[in-house]
Amino acid sequence: MSEKIIISSDSTTDLSEELKERYNISVIPLCITLGSNVYRDGVDIDADKIYEHHSRTGELPKTTAANVGELEEYFAELTKDGSSVVHFTLSSDMSSTYNNAVIASESFENVYVVDTKNLSTGGGLLVLSACDMAANGLDAKTIAEKSKELTPNVEASFVIDSLEYLYKGGRCSALSMLGANLLKLKPCIEVKNGSMGVGKKYRGKFDDVLKEYIVERLVNIDDIDKTRVFITHAGCDENLVKDLAKLVSDKNIFDEVLITRAGCTVSSHCGRNTLGILFIRKSPIA
């Protein structure tokens, strides 16, 4: 009898409902606190509600990982029919969700936890890759091991139109924000070794910057895993997103170009008008 495998993640992987249904992915939401109200990421709150609350009150939400008890209950439900679980989490450098999941998994022999060392669809790429492995007949333990080996190959980055959310969240200084605003800079946030850092600082109109950014990211084509690419955005203009998706598609690099909206976690840190292109390379990223 073949092993039944469930691929799972927390809600920070920003996978669309269509993708979760297509690949039968299970998701446990993070908690989002707005004022005195607590919501479940992607269940009873979305990013637009965060933007509305911020514009009305000036407050940013607080995000909270599922605790050990909640994760134990979640894993128990998934494994009650004997299924094995490969569970992916937000980078351990950004949240306690990985450590909590590891502790919870110790109560089960068939739950394997993978630290994506990433956020948003950077982790989503690893989740879908794991689904491909499961479809090809790999066992859960092997899928987890190969997924961990793949984490350094994920190229994840975003360009941010405004530093306001990062500043209010304590992730950049007032001086940096002032300088960026005066010079009309649009910083590129890169995820490397599990942490966010600032890459190139673009200058100009947001639409033009994004086109330049995408062209510059799609280099060393022979080193790119051509299976899929994500264009993930936080509240960007739909026509702009479609134009950028066409720009990527016209290069004929990827088998599939996927467009997703960033969920509450990314939106809480970066704010509206953030967009990234995310894909996997064949070799680790320096």
The predicted-structure confidence for 2-40, as pLDDT tens digits, reads as follows 789 999 999 999 999 999 999 999 999 999 888 888 888
Report, as an integer, the average pLDDT of 71-98. Answer: 96
The predicted-structure confidence for 173-226, as pLDDT tens digits, reads as follows 333 443 445 446 788 888 988 888 888 889 889 999 999 999 999 999 999 999
Which among 282, 269, 280 is positioned nearest to 62, based on CA atoms? 269
The radius of gyration of the chain's CA atoms, rounded to the nearest angstrom, is 19
Report how far residue 278's alpha carbon sits from residue 249's, in angstroms, rounded to the nearest whole number.
Answer: 14
Residue 169's pLDDT is 47
Read off the pTM: 0.93
The predicted-structure confidence for 102-140, as pLDDT tens digits, reads as follows 999 999 999 999 999 999 999 999 999 999 999 999 999
Residue 162's pLDDT is 66
DSSP 107: T
Report how far residue 193's alpha carbon sits from residue 133's, in angstroms, rounded to the nearest whole number.
Answer: 24
- In the chain, the domains with their CATH numbers are 5-151 (3.40.50.10170), 153-281 (3.30.1180.10)
In this structure, are residues 134 and 7 in contact, taking their beta carbons and an 8 Å threshold?
A: yes
DSSP bridge partners of 202: 186
Residue 60's pLDDT is 79
Which among 217, 234, 220 is positioned nearest to 278, based on CA atoms? 217
